[in-house]
Amino acid sequence: MTTRLKSYVSGEWFLGEGDGTPLINPSTGQEIARASTVGLDCKSALHYSRSVGGPAIRAMSFADRGAMLQSMAEALHAHREELLALSTESGGNTRGDAKFDIDGGIQTLSAYAKMVGKLGEGKFLIDGDSIRLSRSPRFVGRHVQLPLPGVAIHINAFNFPIWGFAEKAAVALGAGMPICVKPATSTSALTARAMAILIEAGVAPNGVLSMICGGAGDLLEHVTPQDVVAFTGSAATAAMLRSMPSIVNQSVRVNVEADSLNAAVLGPDVEPGSVLWDLFLMEVGKDMTQKAGQKCTAMRRLFVPANQVDQMKSDLSQELDSLQMGNPTVKGVRVGPVATASQWKDTQAGIAELMEHCDCVHGEIGRGNLVDEELANGYFQTPVLLVANDPDSAETVHHREVFGPVATLMPYDGLAQSASTLVQKGGGTLVTSVYSDDRTFASEMMMQLVPYSGRLNFASRKVAEHSMGPGTVLPTLVHGGPGRAGGGEELGGLRGLSFYMQRTALQGDDPMLAKMLELGTQV
Ligand code: NAP
């Protein structure tokens, strides 16, 4: 019998009515579970989080919240093997891809457990020093940040059911807000299991954790000005949610992590066969195929000096040939299927659109020569490398995100100005990588690209062996990007807490303010 996934709201498990939405194993096309939110009272669920979970978490010190995050990390780690297996079944992930999501989530919780725990016994943040406001040294200004007394609504994309949940949860809970998580329905089986583990382990006070498994229904119609919405997903859904009257009319804070046409630029100083050339090959190959290319940070546009394009085409094709596509449960397989039927259709349509402006160097639309009866109904797409010889006029390459194992190689004239102008055509990226030992080139790229990028990854020979590639999002660095990438910002160590807190200026008598701030932690 098919598993029926439940939501966890108002301190209890809720089973939705009706047939629900089927969740499919993307390797085999077989149904593994169903999810429904029909009959779920979103208004009451949010009220419960605010009125029960909110006071409980605000009463905890930062040290307590850090300990809670550490317990969450440990509870998930204790079930790591089970979660890895479920990630393969429910998301088509190879073991390596599953680890990227699950270990990444656990590590992010642990990292925030330490950062938040170090803030000690305070319950709010004292932001900066005392500022003298008049002739009297007693009349001063201060800034404080207190957690918002609402609920943090986290709407996540399908590609990272654990990391996506954990990276938002760690920051919101650290700041002192209860959370309501809404994973993407298609891969929600994994988040649902993680939530069950956390509830069984009793890691958080009642009302602090809740989860809506299935369609969001009217969830966002019940937000209040003290709630926040952190969204990860497509630009189209983000635009729709952002413009909802309940959000606009109450100035509800919304953070958006959307899609992005991330870029990589090979510097003019990098010779074939050099350390940086090989790093570029390895990191592009990994980005195109890890999680079957379904990574918001994956490099989609590759800019290479014109005189190196032919060599790069051949070396990258060879690199991709070495990465086997197939059954993600089999050891040695590096490329699994994309996660859903609609994702598969969209990937194929996207490649076809790009092919109108590009030549295909490697791969083809569809599953290629993958013959395995068990996988006949799986959503497999061969890695596809394209080349656009005139990147200036190939607008589609700069605008169409193909969320699969696809990238486009493009020539530039070797000048930083030209490369950065081409990168900027993407309208704002989560991450852009520059592979070069030329400090002048790298500096010019930095000056041109900061306003267009959430993160700039500079790969040079001296740090090549430490590179984790641009695809890895770190808890200590900000994640998000301007424009096309959603205009949001998450993580970044303690910086991330501010989204979940109100920063308020206080004016008054210095000793009186000092008394009020006794329960705060100075940052
Ligand atoms: P999506 O279709 O936009 O869905 C994202 C989330 O929004 C899902 O949980 C979805 O729920 C929910 N949603 C849809 N309509 C809603 C509504 N009316 N009210 C509330 N929630 C609603 O995106 P996706 O296909 O899952 O994700 C792929 C995209 O995410 C890609 O474009 C990728 O670039 C982007 N992404 C960005 C980042 C980043 O950090 N910047 C990370 C990962 C992915 P249902 O599943 O129930 O429809």
The residue contributing the CA closest to ligand 1 atom 10 is 184
**Does the annotation mark 518 as catalytic?**
no
Higher pLDDT, 331 or 305: 305
Higher pLDDT, 370 or 174: 174
| Distance in angstroms (rounded) separating the CA atoms of residues 312 and 267 | 13
**Nearest CA to 291 among 61, 431, 87, 523?**
87
Tell me, using a 6 A CB cutoff, whether residue 297 lines ligand 1.
no
- pLDDT grade, residue 443 (50/70/90)? very high
Q: Annotate 40-70 with b (16+ C-beta within 10 A) or e (fewer).
A: bebeebbebbbebbbeebbebbbbbbbbbbb
- The contacts of residue 390 (CB under 8 Å, 6+ apart) are none
CATH (residue range 262-479): 3.40.309.10
- Phi and psi based region of residue 125 (left: phi greater than 0; alpha: psi -120 to 50; beta: remaining): beta
Tell me, using a 6 A CB cutoff, whether residue 217 lines ligand 1.
no
Tell me, using a 6 A CB cutoff, whether residue 258 lines ligand 1.
yes
Tell me, using a 6 A CB cutoff, whether residue 339 lines ligand 1.
no
Q: What is the pLDDT of residues 201-233, one digit of tens each?
A: 999 999 999 999 999 999 999 999 999 999 999
pLDDT at 390 over 90: yes
- The contacts of residue 76 (CB under 8 Å, 6+ apart) are 83, 102, 105, 106, 109, 162, 166, 194, 197, 198
Q: Are the CB atoms for 391 and 412 separated by under 8 Å?
A: yes
Ligand 1 centroid from CA 397, angstroms: 22
pTM, entire model: 0.95
- pLDDT grade, residue 83 (50/70/90)? very high
pLDDT at 314 over 80: yes
**Nearest CA to 247 among 220, 278, 276?**
220
Q: How many CA atoms lie within 13 Å of 114's alpha carbon, on the beta-carbon side?
A: 8
The residue contributing the CA closest to ligand 1 atom 14 is 237
Q: Annotate 205-236 with b (16+ C-beta within 10 A) or e (fewer).
A: bebbbbbbbbbbbebbebbeebbbbbbbbbbe
Q: From residue 305, how far is each of 280, 308, 394, 416 by CA, in Å? A: 13, 6, 17, 11
Residues of the chain with CATH 3.40.605.10: 3-258+488-522
- The contacts of residue 308 (CB under 8 Å, 6+ apart) are 266, 270, 272
**CB atoms inside a 10 Å sphere around CB 412:** 23
What is the average pLDDT value for the chain, to the nearest integer? Answer: 96
Q: Are the CB atoms for 222 and 215 separated by under 8 Å?
A: no
- The contacts of residue 260 (CB under 8 Å, 6+ apart) are 296, 297, 401, 426, 428, 429, 430, 431, 481, 484, 485, 486
Residues of the chain with CATH 3.40.309.10: 262-479
Give the pLDDT of residue 374: 86
Which H or E run contains 461?
none
Give the pLDDT of residue 174: 98
Q: What is the pLDDT of residues 373-382, one digit of tens each?
A: 888 899 999 9
Ligand 1 centroid from CA 237, angstroms: 7
**Does the annotation mark 180 as catalytic?**
no
Which DSSP letter does residue 414 get?
A: S
Tell me, using a 6 A CB cutoff, whether residue 244 lines ligand 1.
no
Q: Are the CB atoms for 337 and 380 separated by under 8 Å?
A: yes
**Nearest CA to 276 among 265, 289, 287, 263?**
265
Tell me the mean pLDDT in the region 198-202: 98
Q: Which one of 2.60.40.10, 3.40.50.10320, 3.40.605.10, 3.40.1190.20 gives the CATH number of domain 3-258+488-522?
A: 3.40.605.10
Ligand 1 centroid from CA 259, angstroms: 10
Q: What atom of ligand 1 comes closest to residue 188's alpha carbon?
A: 46
Tell me the mean pLDDT in the region 2-9: 94
- pLDDT grade, residue 1 (50/70/90)? low
Tell me the mean pLDDT in the region 471-498: 96
From the candidates 42, 213, 296, 358, give the one annotated as an active-site residue.
296
- pLDDT grade, residue 35 (50/70/90)? very high
From the candidates 89, 167, 257, 319, give the one annotated as an active-site residue.
257
First to last CA, the chain: 53
Ligand 1 centroid from CA 335, angstroms: 22
Strand ranges in 331-477 using DSSP code E only, listed in sequence order: 359-362, 384-387, 406-412, 429-435, 453-459
Tell me, using a 6 A CB cutoff, whether residue 215 lines ligand 1.
yes
Strand ranges in 135-283 using DSSP code E only, listed in sequence order: 139-147, 152-155, 179-182, 209-211, 228-232, 253-257, 262-266
Tell me, using a 6 A CB cutoff, whether residue 124 lines ligand 1.
no
